[in-house]
Amino acid sequence: MIALEFPPINEILRWKDLVPGFNKISIIAILAAVIAIGLFLAATRQDHNSAPKGSRNLAEAIVEFIENGVVMQTMGRDGLGWTPFLLSLFLFIYLCNVPGIIPFFQMPATARMAIPMFLALLVWVVYNGTGIKHQGFFGYFKSTLFPPGVPKALYILVTPIEFISAIIVRPFSLAVRLFANMLAGHILLVTFALLSEALFQAKDKVLIPVGILPFFMLIFLTSFEVLVAFLQAYIFTILTAVYIGGAAHPEH
Amino acid sequence: MEAIARIAAAAAADPAEAKNTAAAASAGYAYGLAAIGPGIGIGYLVGKAVESMARQPEAAGMVRTTMFLGIAFTEALALIGFVVFILLKFA
């Protein structure tokens, strides 16, 4: 038989400090921000009157995707002012997710709780702030905690549920969804990589060809992670848009 | 039942080892049980979404957005189960 030693969780998630307080996760997060900023700076440098090419094409495609796929679907025409915020959120999360499958990085920066938690707290502040700005402090809490059209006696039940779901669970689930998806993907890739390595190096020669099976599974999961990285960034952005839209216009 | 019997046997021999065994067993149960409900839910949700897209292809964009929202909310439960699994197994 083969002895498969699964490493402790810290070994596959915690990276050595290159400089104190600065490890691979920080490099990925900084690169994600720099690449996104660089792409859009390069795009705006181009002549606005000629046909777009290169970086400008890519940037326009991303902006159009956020406008048509996220803002128009959830907030409608009034929400278009939120495009820059949602765009930077989407790009940053996507570029943090995608290193999970890039060789030599092999680690999604969002698989550590710090980045998803910070982003979720940011979104929490933004949507509550929007609600307070549009409806006033008491108006916002009245429309959130006491939804209209509910019989008076039911408010005893509805108000605590609404408070927990709108104020506490939303940022928690937003952060945990992104974090757990990326962590699960990372652990799956580690598992199948270890399994195929152990089988390819097995002492029993019969087991060596069997290693093809987890290896194909590894290839399949790697391409699946490409999809997950995009989908999680998209879901995070679209949920942010829904929360902001709901806080700005409670009647929808 | 067998797992519980094994935990009981181990607890008599070595309490620290018994804790690890119990944690490993319950981590497996935690994720397995947490995946049942969301699995049914997402299947039902996507099935209905495909049905409505086939009936009204012009509403496909709206249905797709709502479908992703629904998937996100349903999936969160399974993912919390996964986090519990990690906490039980490794923390």
Could you give the CA distance from residue A158 to residue A147 in angstroms, rounded to a whole number? 8
Could you give the CA distance from residue A108 to residue A99 in angstroms, rounded to a whole number? 5
Q: What is the distance in angstroms between the Cα of B11 and the nearest Cα belonging to chain A? A: 23
pLDDT at A147: 83
pLDDT at B7: 66
Contact B62 A74 (CB under 8 A): no
| Band (B62; pLDDT cuts 50, 70, 90) | confident
Distance of CA A180 to the CA centre of its chain: 10
Domain B2-90 part of CATH 1.20.20.10: yes
- Between B61 and A88, residue with greater pLDDT: A88
B15-50: per-residue pLDDT in tens? 777 778 788 888 888 889 999 999 999 999 999 999
Contact A177 B90 (CB under 8 A): no
* pLDDT-flagged residues of chain A (< 70): 1-3, 251-252
pTM as predicted: 0.87
pLDDT at A150: 83
pLDDT at A3: 62
Contact A73 B72 (CB under 8 A): no
Both tokens of residue A106? Answer: 């092999």
With beta carbons under 8 A apart, name residues in chain A contacting B86.
9, 183
pLDDT at A2: 57
Provide the residue ranges of all domains of chain A, joining segments of one domain with +: 9-248
pLDDT at A252: 55
Closest CA to A95 of A84, A85, A82, A109: A109
ipTM value greater than 0.90:
no
| Band (B10; pLDDT cuts 50, 70, 90) | low
pLDDT at A146: 86
> Quick check: B52 pLDDT over 90?
yes
B87–A contact, CB cutoff 8 A: no
pLDDT at A93: 96
B44–A contact, CB cutoff 8 A: no
